[in-house]
Structure 1
Amino acid sequence: MNSYYLLVIIISLSAGFAYINHRFIKMPFVIGLFFLSTVLSLVIFTEKWWDFQQYVEIKAELEKVHLDSFILDIMLGFLLFAAGLHTRWSDIRKQLTTISVLAILGVIISTVTVAAMLYWVCGLLNVEISFLYCLIFGALISPVDPIAVLGILTKAGVSKKVESTIVGESLFNDGVGVVMFIALLETLKAGNSGFDFGHFGLLFVQEAIGGLFFGLGLGYALYWLLKSIDNYETEVLLTIAFVMAGYTFCNMLHLSGALAMVIMGLFVGNFNRNMAMSDKTQEYVHKFWELVDVILNAILFISIAFVLVVIDFESTHLIIGLSAIFIVLLSRVIVVYVPRFFMPRIVDISKDEAKIMVWGSLRGGLSIALVLSLPNSEYKFILMIATYACVVFSIMVQGLTIGKMARNISLKQKNRESKVAANT
């Protein structure tokens, strides 16, 4: 099956599932697509018991797709630029200290915590696994996924403060998580069992800091070009070119393309945009990237649901996968509540806001892509099952219930305020 036919199938499934969801099921867009795709994946998965040959053929085709490269090398740049473009910097800036703590310190704490607990669970189940692989799992599962958050959480009705904090955290913490993942993966490929802090520090500066400044440079260059003309067709085309070329150059230069695209999107979407683009151009640019965001989200969530077909399950590995869900949630509790307790002046969030931030920390396509990029080994399949379990729970359970939680908390707050007002 060539790439065009595969794209035809995915787009057709996206349109069909989107219609069924909107017409009958009425789940949030990406959750509905993921749910229906997972049901189809389960049907295909059961073929191994009643039509094994057909199952083997479908699995072989899906394994040729290289979903990790598709997400990391192509889709991620477009999605993150669109996310940055539609994010208001004024909202992010108000929560910048909290976002910084969660996006940097939080990912580091979570990576180590998840690794230690997963290593302990595997030991209890007599499953031998290297602690380095546990750290790799911690690095790939700790970042809050910006794609999942922007596709689900922003429509869940949470408060503006919490939404801005989680969205801002999700936009920046993937850079830290990916850098840690790359450093650990290079250590693994080099055959080292320890963690080289010097190499990690150098790589962090190169990837994260380099990506930050490269994104600022791209953003200013694109702003200058947009400002110099007034033709919406050309200006839309310029944004596409800058995303594609900029992300490609970042990969070539070993810079964080994800971080560069976020910064470029934030810059173009917020810095003197009325001077750079006319009202007509702004309308076309934003609507174009909204459409790109919707289409790519549909493709992404259908694609990651089909990962289920290529995973070989064992009972022990399923137990590890279920345990990973609780491990990741517990690590998130630690990441949110520890800074809130020890640094209340820096991490300014209430108890109710902390609950939403714990439950609203969604995982998605980025984690799937990272785990699929690991070299083939017996440990990779364990981590694939653990990652897929966390993503399914995150999208289907947390994603469907975060709106109800936010509404209940908001109602309780209003009741408390009304009681206080009545007493006074």
Structure 2
Amino acid sequence: MDALQMFELVIVMLLAIILLHFVAHKLGLPPAVALLTGGALFAFVPGLPVISLDPELVLVIFLPPLLMDGAWFIALRHLQRHMLGIAGLAVGAVIFTTAVVALVAHWLIPSLPIAACAALGAIVSPPDAVSARAVLQRVKLPRRLSILLEGESLFNDASGLVLFRFAVAAGVTGAFSMVSALESFALLAIGGAVVGAAVGAAWVLLAPRLDDKYLMIASSLLAPWASYLLAESGHLSGVIATVTTGLICGWYQHVVFTATVRMNGTAFWAVMIFLMEAFVFLLIGSSLRGVIDRVGGFDLVLQEMTGPVLAILGALIVARFLWVFGSDALIGLLRAMGLKRYRPIGPRGATVLAWAGMRGVVTLAVALSVPEGFPGRDFILVTAFAVIIGTVLIQGMSLGAVIKLVRLEESEADRPRMTMSEAEAAMARAQLKVVEVHARDANGTVIHPRLLDRYQRQASIATSYAGQEAQFADQLHAHFDLILKAVAAGRKELLRLHRSGDIDEDTLHELERDLDLEELSALSAKA
């Protein structure tokens, strides 16, 4: 396939993405399901080339920006609050699931070495960040469950990749050391966090000095790849590095970006992430033909692998239920014994958390990276693909119904201390103080009566000066300068409320968008 044919294929895939998203919207299906199914059908269209994925290239292209976007918007305060639960899922659940899958695979296929079984377990154990995002965007979850799922999907790839590398090494050399594995994981995680913090700090310091909205947006696009590639080049965790960078950039973007940059940047990232997520699922589906050809055809898969693959898929789902319900029961027991710091999520929340375990691009990319000649490689490839298809189609399509069935409710302890309307009132009071100081001249005469009335009554006077710009040019400049000062005061108060923990990220982003729009309107009117 030459370069022109490759470009034409990308255009065809882009058209397919638009059509499949449209069909999913009309049928009420999760877009990930439509894209995955459409990609699988796309793979067998006569005349189209077989799509063969380079696993390293796929991870480098897609994983960093998708992780960055997830970390950028995650509720950091809630992430810190629920870090123990996230660590339990991202590390404990991955290790437990790997062990269960390895034991089941070895029991089903005794000829398969335990190292190969462990490699398979490590490949399929971590739920995927892209799959989780794609499904969670269509459902409404209580804050705590949402944070647990988002945080797990951001961090669990690191533990899964470490387990996979050691399992492959054990399969090739026959040697394995648990101490070495733990030391390696700690080194990878800490080193990756240091690299990510350095890149994030560099972005926070340098981005404002670029003094150009396009350069600032471009720098935010460069940050995840810089963090990932730097960490990987030092044999550290690129996943942890990218997530750390995203957390830092997301925390400081409210003061680094101006309103114009933030509005443009948010729109740019939204479109880019939409396309990347869509391409990921389409590529996964499209790679089915290559996987089937690689292992010897459909007949071989159906005759020899169907039973073990379905059994492993079932073991994967059961293992997650056992871990989630077991962990929640342990927390409940500790709470009954007097340890009140942590609260169980309860059977309803545990059911949803256990069922939301979709796999995706990382599982497939890691499976494709299994070395040629590794024991059970064909079986590992088929199982990985089946797990992706099964979890996305079965769990992804039914998660909304499960949420409705269990009737989840937001816990009082997880609600922010202030509602959005209360935050709006606090922000308006901060703006009014600035307006009251500057709305009068030295003699105490009101020189901006309509503006003062607007902030007193929360009413708009934007049309009051329409068509009178020349007559009121000086007043207009003063008028909109004062609006800009009021917006700055409101943003300062909004950030103070967020930093002090009175409001959450959702309230921050909603009200900040309102302020951004007000600022852009004033700048446009003044110009």
TM-score, length-scaled by structure 1: 0.86
Counterpart CA distance in 1 for 2:31 and 2:309 is 26
Contact 2:115/2:171 (CA < 8 Å) preserved in 1? yes
4+ residue runs of structure 1 moved beyond 6 angstroms?
411-414
**Residue 248 of structure 2, aligned match among 238, 263, 267:** 267
- For residues 377-423 of structure 1, give each alpha carbon's deviation from its aligned partner in whole angstroms, at most 9, with x where no partner exists: 36111011111111101111111110111122227999xxxxxxxxx
> Is the alpha carbon distance of 1:251 and 1:8 closer, same or farther for their aligned partners in structure 2, counting shifts above 3 Å?
farther
> Is the alpha carbon distance of 1:281 and 1:294 closer, same or farther for their aligned partners in structure 2, counting shifts above 3 Å?
same
Structure 2 residue aligned with 1:16? 16
Structure 1 residue aligned with 2:130? 147
**Residue 319 of structure 1, aligned match among 284, 307, 313:** 307
Structure 2 residue aligned with 1:50? none
Deviation at 1:183, TM superposition (A): 2.2
The residue identity in structure 2 corresponding to 1:222 is: W
**1:340-351 correspondence runs (5 A):** 340-344=328-332, 345=335, 346=342, 348-351=344-347
Deviation at 1:371, TM superposition (A): 0.5
Supply the RMSD in Å over aligned alpha carbons.
Answer: 2.3
Q: Secondary structure at the match of 1:285?
A: helix
Pairing 1:89–2:76 present? yes
Contact 1:10/1:299 (CA < 8 Å) preserved in 2? no
Structure 1 residue aligned with 2:457? none
Counterpart CA distance in 1 for 2:11 and 2:233 is 30
Contact 2:188/2:235 (CA < 8 Å) preserved in 1? yes
> Is the alpha carbon distance of 1:16 and 1:74 closer, same or farther for their aligned partners in structure 2, counting shifts above 3 Å?
closer
Pairing 1:107–2:94 present? yes
Contact 1:183/1:199 (CA < 8 Å) preserved in 2? no
Structure 2 residue aligned with 1:309? 289
Counterpart CA distance in 1 for 2:167 and 2:311 is 23
The residue identity in structure 2 corresponding to 1:297 is: E
**Residue 28 of structure 1, aligned match among 27, 30, 34:** 30
> Is the alpha carbon distance of 1:318 and 1:11 closer, same or farther for their aligned partners in structure 2, counting shifts above 3 Å?
farther
Contact 1:98/1:165 (CA < 8 Å) preserved in 2? yes
Contact 2:100/2:319 (CA < 8 Å) preserved in 1? yes
Deviation at 1:229, TM superposition (A): 4.7
Counterpart CA distance in 2 for 1:225 and 1:412 is 43
**Greater mean deviation of Cα atoms: 221-230 or 294-303:** 221-230
Pairing 1:357–2:353 present? yes
**Residue 232 of structure 2, aligned match among 237, 246, 251:** 251
Which residues of structure 2 form unaligned runs of 5+?
336-341, 412-527
More helix, by proportion: 1
Pairing 1:217–2:205 present? no
Counterpart CA distance in 1 for 2:78 and 2:196 is 20
Which residues of structure 1 form unaligned runs of 5+?
48-53, 415-424
Deviation at 1:135, TM superposition (A): 0.5
Pairing 1:283–2:263 present? yes
Q: Secondary structure at the match of 2:357?
A: coil
Q: Secondary structure at the match of 1:374?
A: coil
- For residues 140-168 of structure 1, give each alpha carbon's deviation from its aligned partner in whole angstroms, at most 9, with x where no partner exists: 11111111101112322222221111111
Structure 2 residue aligned with 1:380? 377
The residue identity in structure 2 corresponding to 1:161 is: R
Identical pairs, percent: 21
Counterpart CA distance in 1 for 2:345 and 2:140 is 17
**Residue 164 of structure 1, aligned match among 130, 134, 147:** 147
Contact 1:98/1:347 (CA < 8 Å) preserved in 2? no
The residue identity in structure 1 corresponding to 2:345 is: I
Counterpart CA distance in 2 for 1:320 and 1:145 is 23
Contact 2:192/2:240 (CA < 8 Å) preserved in 1? yes
Contact 1:318/1:385 (CA < 8 Å) preserved in 2? no
**1:1-12 correspondence runs (5 A):** 1-2=1-2, 5-12=5-12
Contact 2:101/2:315 (CA < 8 Å) preserved in 1? yes
Contact 1:18/1:33 (CA < 8 Å) preserved in 2? no
**Greater mean deviation of Cα atoms: 157-166 or 143-152:** 157-166
Counterpart CA distance in 2 for 1:289 and 1:20 is 21
Q: Secondary structure at the match of 2:137?
A: helix
Q: Secondary structure at the match of 2:407?
A: helix
Counterpart CA distance in 1 for 2:95 and 2:286 is 30
| Number of aligned residues | 392
Deviation at 1:336, TM superposition (A): 0.7
Pairing 1:75–2:31 present? no
TM-score, length-scaled by structure 2: 0.70
**Residue 242 of structure 1, aligned match among 207, 223, 226:** 223
Pairing 1:188–2:171 present? yes
Structure 1 residue aligned with 2:115? 132
**Residue 176 of structure 1, aligned match among 153, 159, 184:** 159
Contact 1:113/1:331 (CA < 8 Å) preserved in 2? yes
Q: Which has the higher contact order (CA 8 A, sep 6+)?
A: 1
Pairing 1:333–2:321 present? yes
Pick the structure with greater CA Rg. Answer: 2
Counterpart CA distance in 1 for 2:18 and 2:323 is 35
The residue identity in structure 2 corresponding to 1:34 is: L
Pairing 1:199–2:177 present? no
Contact 1:118/1:327 (CA < 8 Å) preserved in 2? no
> Is the alpha carbon distance of 1:25 and 1:80 closer, same or farther for their aligned partners in structure 2, counting shifts above 3 Å?
same
